Amino acid sequence: MARRSENDDSGIGHDSKHAKLRIKDRRRTGSQSKSGARTKDRPDYSKAQTGFVTTVDRGRITCRLNNGEQILAMKARELGKKSIVVGDQVGLVGNLSGTDGTLARAVSVGVRRNTLTRTIDDEANFERQIVANVDQMAIMIAATNPEPRHGFVDRALVVAFDQGIKPLIIMTKIDLIANPNSEFLEPYLDLGLKNDEQIFIFDKGSDLSKLHKTLSNQTTVFIGHSGVGKSSLVNRLIGSDQRAVGSVNENTGRGRHTSSSAFAIPVGQTGWIIDTPGVRSFGISHIKINRIFHAFPELEATLNRCPKNCSHDEAACELNQISAANLLTRVQSLRRLLASI
């Protein structure tokens, strides 16, 4: 099913007649010579300024220039189908004043260090990029409402390890469960993630100073199911109510998809937090099987002892020798992932 994506930058939203008009004006003045004939030569973009994309909403790209100015831009036609996502560094020309009602043009997209994609439609395996160039991925789950799922964390970890992104795991809503030392997180303690630096458990009033430290000078994307409290945590971190917060359905424990597009907010001197809309799952079908094992460093030694070409789901598989409870959960995770691709 072809669904219109929220980052679809080819079109202009139905409610943005003015933007549409402005773009037409710009084309007339920007890409035509004074005589009115279209210039054949490639336009000179050597004076383009670099901007960091903080959000993309129905074709309108909000960017932060190096001087701190925030401006709105549209994707230039010559970029064709090339997408622009939050975290991109784009080259900008045109009106860079940032004055209300002005619109610059994004004419180039910097090479991406990494990208994060999410599966929109599980069946069709349709993936879309949500952010680029991140240093850290905060994988967020709630202790309950919605219930945490290992499958989600496992997949997110696979993506993080594959893309060279440092994973953090944040559990929220521990005020809603009796035992905050949730068993749920234990299997991830052997991954090499550092407690208090990469693994956090919070309620609404927890001290966030250690997390603040981890986030400073880094670009960190917050991901998790709708309703886990991504936007609530972002608000607490920046000390304002900038992000809208939704409620959770009491019966299903599900969130209401309150945030609808990825949004980057400055944190500390040079850091960025990127709040994203709730995702149902992460696509990992584009990741090669041998890279999936990278997300299971604690099983590596065992896997190395497996027979050649082991499917890791057969009698001779060395993983069958594992008996420690935490590792067993991870073995199940790995087998589930291998079976799903």
Q: Which residues bind ligand GTP (CB under 6 A)?
A: 172-173, 175-176, 202-204, 224, 226-232, 245-248, 255-259, 277-278
In the bound state with ligand GTP, the residue whose beta carbon lies nearer, of 108 and 226, is 226
In the bound state with ligand GTP, the residue whose beta carbon lies nearer, of 245 and 303, is 245
Question: Is position 306 an interface residue for Zn ion (rule: CB under 5 A)?
Answer: yes
CA 149 from centre of chain: 18
Instruction: Find the binder of Zn ion among 245, 310, 322, 327 (CB under 5 A).
Output: 310
Q: Give the C-alpha separation, 218 to 269, whole Å.
A: 10
Which residues is 221 bridged to in the sheet?
137, 274
In the bound state with Zn ion, the residue whose beta carbon lies nearer, of 215 and 317, is 317
Min separation Cβ 101 and Mg ion, Å: 29
Query: Which residues from 245-304 bind Mg ion, rule CB under 5 A?
Result: 258-259
By rule CB under 5 A, what string of x and - marks binding of each residue 257-296 to Zn ion?
----------------------------------------
Query: Which tokens sit at 212?
Result: 């603040």
Min separation Cβ 243 and ligand GTP, Å: 7
Report the partner that residue 306 touches, choosing among Mg ion, Zn ion, ligand GTP, none (CB closer than 5 to 8 A by kind).
Zn ion
Burial of 92 (0-12, 13-18, 19+ CB in 10 A): buried
Q: Please state the φ and ψ torsions of residue 42, each to the nearest 5 degrees.
A: -65, 130
Min separation Cβ 276 and ligand GTP, Å: 7
Query: Which tokens sit at 276?
Result: 């994203």
Q: Give the C-alpha separation, 90 to 75, whole Å.
A: 10
In the bound state with Mg ion, the residue whose beta carbon lies nearer, of 247 and 309, is 247
Q: CA of 23: how far to CAs of 7, 72, 265, 323, in Å? A: 18, 12, 27, 63
Q: CA 91, 96, 101 angle in degrees (round to 5)? A: 125
Min separation Cβ 4 and ligand GTP, Å: 19
In the bound state with Mg ion, the residue whose beta carbon lies nearer, of 256 and 286, is 256
Q: Give the C-alpha separation, 131 to 116, whole Å.
A: 5
Instruction: Find the binder of Mg ion among 129, 136, 198, 231 (CB under 5 A).
Output: 231
Q: Give the C-alpha separation, 52 to 77, whole Å.
A: 19
HSE, CB side, 13 Å, CA atoms: give it for residue 148. Answer: 25
In the bound state with Mg ion, the residue whose beta carbon lies nearer, of 173 and 230, is 230
Report the partner that residue 22 touches, choosing among Mg ion, Zn ion, ligand GTP, none (CB closer than 5 to 8 A by kind).
none
In the bound state with ligand GTP, the residue whose beta carbon lies nearer, of 83 and 235, is 235
Q: What is the residue-wise DSSP string for 17-55? A: HHHHHHHHHHHHHHSB-TTSPBP-SPP--TTPEEEEEEE
Min separation Cβ 310 and Zn ion, Å: 3
Instruction: Give the interface with Zn ion as residue ranges (CB under 5 A).
Output: 306, 310, 312, 317
